[in-house]
Structure 1
Amino acid sequence: MGTYIVIASEKVHKSAAAMGGAMLMLLFILEGPSHGKKADASLDQNGQTTEIVQPSEPLVSQLDSFAQNINFDVIFTLAGMMVLVNILSETGLFQYVAIKSAKVAKGSPLNTLLLLVFATAILSAFLDNVTTILLIAPVTLVVAAELEVPPIPFLLCETMASNIGGTATLIGDPPNLIIGSYAGLSFSAFMVNLSPFIVVALLIYMFVLWFYYRDKMKVTIEKRARIMAFNEKEAITDKSKLRKGGLIMIFTLIGFLLHGMLHLEPSVVAMAGATCGLIACCDNVDHALEKIEWGTLFFFIGLFILVKGAEKAGLMAELGELLVHMNDWHPLAIMLTIMWVGGICAAIMNNVSFTAAAVIIIGQFMSTHEFFQIRLHEELLWWALALGVCLGGNGSAVGAAANMCAIGIAEKNGHKISFKDFLIYGVPVTIVSLIAASLYVSLRYYQLDL
């Protein structure tokens, strides 16, 4: 709680605050190589009794004890995609896409915003939302610069669209991967049960954006004419690197779509693409690695350790005991409670870290509840959890990995998005989307009985 208060206060950099909290967890809560050793008695050469400290676990397990607290699949997926995106950014590709998008939107900032939001949501359904933000954010910064409008509203709206769109499929948002893996749910099951609502939610979200910004995003006729006069082809500065880097990116994205079938973790796909990109496209590898958002990566490392420490200390068990009080509730009330509690906790704790613990708690609860022991009914709680944690990720700057990536990219380019700024945008979106999800669940599964 102290770490989150420090992060929200912005008195200390978020990465330093998260690492500080992680340090305290490692010192006082989490077991490491120096913990848990047992002593055996023996006699030395002088006949004196001494103690020989023996490790209670195999050496490999000891050495890995700290690493087990960190989700390196997320860390290396982020790092690999950062490398690839930085390689492509040096070719002029993003400037090309930015100018083309602005011209398709006829130079209108509002139409450009809606176009980018729609593209972000669609991409997030078939890629993970972090990768989508890494691809879209650089384009957005260039678009805003060309239109001479503030980029922060664009970035915030796209980030929330990525979390909404990513809810639709198994691979769209990391929490869905965790839920699908634990519960044995297929890609098609997520599409059938969640996609219909997400399509409607996206259309409502875009309408709200249009209504809110219709009088706020305007540029002069001269600026629109200047945008339409640009030649996007002139933005490409290195065609050779673009061809090689673009081909590697395409194969990497295909790898993300097929990683389950290929039995590969997303991090392996991302790092393979990054390695090929560094070999094929970079004369100066050190320069390419300098552009990685190290602050964002260390923030997540600290956050994973922080939440793991909270779990080790018994916080998750305490939360799990609260579910016992729901045994006599109506199933719909249980679903809605899990959805809303999941959404709130995801906003506070980060949806990936919370989901990793929540699936275990909910799985244990279902094993003791007769209604949810039936397979069809069991899935209802998983859909409620998925909607809650994915949509709840919009609730704060630390709610989802995509949020932190967008903030990191913005800061690196001189645009600060504060914790408070994100709350102002994210909380209303989260509340409205969870209300809409509650209506969807109630209508679909209990009124229409589908």
Structure 2
Amino acid sequence: MALASTEKVILGSIAFSIFWVLAVFPSVPFLPVGRTAGSLLGAMLMVIFRVITPDQAYAAIDLPILGLLFGTMVVSVYLEKADMFKHLGKQHNLPPHPFLLALASSANIGSSATPIGNPQNLVIAVQSKISFGSFIVGILPAMVIGILVNALILLCMYWKLLSIQKDKEDAASEGVDEEDMSSHRFSPATMSHCTSPNLQEWNSRFEPMDIQSPPATMNGDANHVESLRNRLTSNENEIRQVLSSAPASARNSTASKETLHDGASQKKHETVPSKEVVSVNGLNDVFPGTYSEGKETPASRYKTILWKSRVYLVTIGMLISLLMGLNMSWTAITAALALVVLDFKDARPCLEKVSYSLLIFFCGMFITVNGFNRTGIPSTLWDWMEPHAKVNHASGIAVLAVVILVLSNVASNVPTVLLLGGQVAVSAAAISAAEEKKSWLILAWVSTVAGNLSLLGSAANLIVCEQARRAPDLSYTLSFWNHLKFGVPSTIIVTAIGLTQIR
């Protein structure tokens, strides 16, 4: 594709640059509108500058990808509701940065192994006519090694950070345990049972008042103290009788409340309500039926297990359908609607957790990137690099990888595949049929791993970043530069090692 008119090239480059700046720096001082508004602004400028028509802008929106994203986000909401992620993850007060990078980068690398792993692979599988099995055999070794190398890079870069945080956590936990022990040691609520030394201690508090010859003005107080002492002794005997008749496990958790009336000898004992008892082990034997409130009944437990099983089965069915080659978008949407029906509740709370701002961002990005492609700049770049990008030479593979890597991060990986796929295949087919197949696999591998280079390189990066920012218990923003520090070395090393494994 030749370059468009000078006016379209300049205006299209300006619109794309504005989109790129606002996507990379969502809080720039001159226009702090954020990524989503930035993508819509870039799309609007493409239409206003007449780089593309309104109809072309609407046609540029990839509805299957949006449907796939929406469906998978709804499914993930129900998986979270079914405690799947609670069982898979453990909280250790560790920094979220390396774990978010691990999640996004591993998702990108892992998606390269199958034709349905990501949208660009699906395009390649349709255009190249490569079978499902041949695709897996060709890229699976590179994917496995890439995952291991990526994990090793993460450990090397963030080992010190994780170790320091872990030491702080251990120190904090030790301090909390010691403090808890101290507080429990002197807390009346944690006393296991009332023994005679405790009662003797209470009695000793009144010893100063036990005077041989009390003054006349203190006769009333002395009589009152003597009455209290007699009552405490009587209480001690009654408590011993209760403890001797109760099971051993209940002795450590019984307590009594007494109401003393001046001048009265009658005492009334009341059991402490269940919410005030620290340990209730064995109390049902002594006080049957008292502590059954608040416990999950077998029926409710069975109902919860049944509902969670349905969520997991629907998710597994969705994955099997995708592996069978069914339409990715409608498969994900069908699974999402199945979960909504099976939940049998108002779906609004779950649907509100879907990141609609991310879907709008993709709409604007599709239009903006399509307009930039229509300027002819990406195709002109390939025409200049094509003679040096022959796949039958190591140097040609390196050049091709660099071109795909750059374009995937500038124009997105799916448009890069749509733009370069046919041209790369034609160039490789002139050598041999085997080289043509290899060129498609190289395009799939590099365009997918290229998503790890920057925060804007793939949908997985943006989804992880957005979900981490929206999480109420995390609210962490993965910045563009923090991602780039890890993304550049990881992408270069993983891509290079993987290229040696492509067959």
TM-score by length of 2: 0.64
Question: Take 1:254 and 1:245, find their aligned partners in 2: how far apart are those partners?
Answer: 14
Cα distance, 1:2 vs structure 2: 2.6
In the alignment, is the contact (CA less than 8 A) between 1:163 and 1:391 conserved in 2?
yes
What is the aligned counterpart of 2:349 among 287, 291, 294? 287
Question: Take 2:331 and 2:134, find their aligned partners in 1: how far apart are those partners?
Answer: 24
In the alignment, is the contact (CA less than 8 A) between 2:389 and 2:397 conserved in 1?
no
What is the aligned counterpart of 2:494 among 429, 433, 446? 433
What is the aligned counterpart of 1:14 among 35, 44, 69? 35
Structure whose CA Rg is larger: 2
Matches within 5 A, 1:4-403: 4-11=20-27, 12-27=33-48, 28-33=50-55, 65-98=56-89, 143=90, 146-217=91-162, 218=166, 219-220=169-170, 238-258=304-324, 260=325, 264-326=326-388, 331-366=393-428, 370-371=430-431, 374-403=432-461
**TM-align CA RMSD:** 2.6
Find the counterpart in structure 2 of residue 56 from structure 1: none
Find the counterpart in structure 2 of residue 231 from structure 1: none
Letter in 1 for 2:315: M
Question: Take 2:361 and 2:480, find their aligned partners in 1: how far apart are those partners?
Answer: 14
Find the counterpart in structure 2 of residue 46 from structure 1: none
Helix, strand or coil at the partner of 2:54: coil
Identity %: 26
Helix, strand or coil at the partner of 2:130: coil
Cα distance, 1:440 vs structure 2: 4.3
Find the counterpart in structure 2 of residue 44 from structure 1: none
Letter in 1 for 2:378: M
Helix, strand or coil at the partner of 1:295: helix
Question: Take 1:280 and 1:256, find their aligned partners in 2: how far apart are those partners?
Answer: 21
Cα distance, 1:178 vs structure 2: 1.5
In the alignment, is the contact (CA less than 8 A) between 1:347 and 1:393 conserved in 2?
yes
Question: Take 2:173 and 2:448, find their aligned partners in 1: how far apart are those partners?
Answer: 38
Question: Take 1:327 and 1:221, find their aligned partners in 2: how far apart are those partners?
Answer: 56
Instruction: Give the 3 Å change call, closer, same or farther, for CA 387–327 of structure 1 in structure 2.
Output: closer
Helix, strand or coil at the partner of 1:220: helix
User: Is 283-292 or 389-398 further displaced after alignment?
Assistant: 283-292
Question: Take 1:212 and 1:32, find their aligned partners in 2: how far apart are those partners?
Answer: 46
In the alignment, is the contact (CA less than 8 A) between 2:138 and 2:441 conserved in 1?
yes
**Larger RCO, structure (CA 8 Å, separation 6 or more):** 2
Cα distance, 1:291 vs structure 2: 1.0
Letter in 1 for 2:107: S
Cα distance, 1:328 vs structure 2: 8.3
Find the counterpart in structure 2 of residue 138 from structure 1: none
Find the counterpart in structure 2 of residue 121 from structure 1: none
Letter in 2 for 1:432: I
Cα distance, 1:96 vs structure 2: 2.5
Cα distance, 1:223 vs structure 2: 5.3
Question: Take 1:430 and 1:167, find their aligned partners in 2: how far apart are those partners?
Answer: 14
Find the counterpart in structure 2 of residue 408 from structure 1: 466
Cα distance, 1:312 vs structure 2: 2.0
Find the counterpart in structure 2 of residue 50 from structure 1: none
Letter in 1 for 2:64: D
Helix, strand or coil at the partner of 1:216: helix
In the alignment, is the contact (CA less than 8 A) between 2:454 and 2:488 conserved in 1?
yes
Instruction: Give the 3 Å change call, closer, same or farther, for CA 245–329 of structure 1 in structure 2.
Output: closer
Cα distance, 1:427 vs structure 2: 1.2
Question: Take 2:498 and 2:341, find their aligned partners in 1: how far apart are those partners?
Answer: 46
Structure 1 residues 385-417: Cα deviation after superposition (integer angstroms, max 9, x where no partner)? 122111111011111111111111111111111
In the alignment, is the contact (CA less than 8 A) between 2:153 and 2:490 conserved in 1?
no
User: Is 244-253 or 157-166 further displaced after alignment?
Assistant: 244-253
Cα distance, 1:66 vs structure 2: 4.1
User: Is 173-182 or 314-323 further displaced after alignment?
Assistant: 314-323
Question: Take 1:196 and 1:385, find their aligned partners in 2: how far apart are those partners?
Answer: 16
Structure 1 residues 174-215: Cα deviation after superposition (integer angstroms, max 9, x where no partner)? 222211211111222222222122222222233333344444
Cα distance, 1:330 vs structure 2: 6.1
In the alignment, is the contact (CA less than 8 A) between 2:391 and 2:439 conserved in 1?
no
Question: Take 2:101 and 2:450, find their aligned partners in 1: how far apart are those partners?
Answer: 15
Question: Take 1:358 and 1:352, find their aligned partners in 2: how far apart are those partners?
Answer: 10
In the alignment, is the contact (CA less than 8 A) between 1:77 and 1:270 conserved in 2?
yes
Cα distance, 1:435 vs structure 2: 2.7
User: Is 378-387 or 294-303 further displaced after alignment?
Assistant: 378-387
Question: Take 2:123 and 2:477, find their aligned partners in 1: how far apart are those partners?
Answer: 32
In the alignment, is the contact (CA less than 8 A) between 1:397 and 1:404 conserved in 2?
yes
Structure 1 residues 54-110: Cα deviation after superposition (integer angstroms, max 9, x where no partner)? xxxxxxxxxxx5432011111111101111211232233322332xxxxxxxxxxxx
In the alignment, is the contact (CA less than 8 A) between 2:412 and 2:457 conserved in 1?
yes
User: Is 4-13 or 270-279 further displaced after alignment?
Assistant: 4-13
Question: Take 2:456 and 2:84, find their aligned partners in 1: how far apart are those partners?
Answer: 30
Cα distance, 1:355 vs structure 2: 1.6
Letter in 2 for 1:15: T
Query: Structure 2 regions of 5+ residues with no counterpart?
Result: 1-16, 28-32, 177-295
Query: Structure 1 regions of 5+ residues with no counterpart?
Result: 34-64, 99-142, 227-233, 445-450
What is the aligned counterpart of 2:478 among 398, 403, 417? 417
In the alignment, is the contact (CA less than 8 A) between 1:391 and 1:430 conserved in 2?
yes
In the alignment, is the contact (CA less than 8 A) between 2:142 and 2:501 conserved in 1?
yes
Letter in 1 for 2:149: I
Instruction: Give the 3 Å change call, closer, same or farther, for CA 168–2 of structure 1 in structure 2.
Output: same
Helix, strand or coil at the partner of 1:167: helix
Instruction: Give the 3 Å change call, closer, same or farther, for CA 424–246 of structure 1 in structure 2.
Output: same
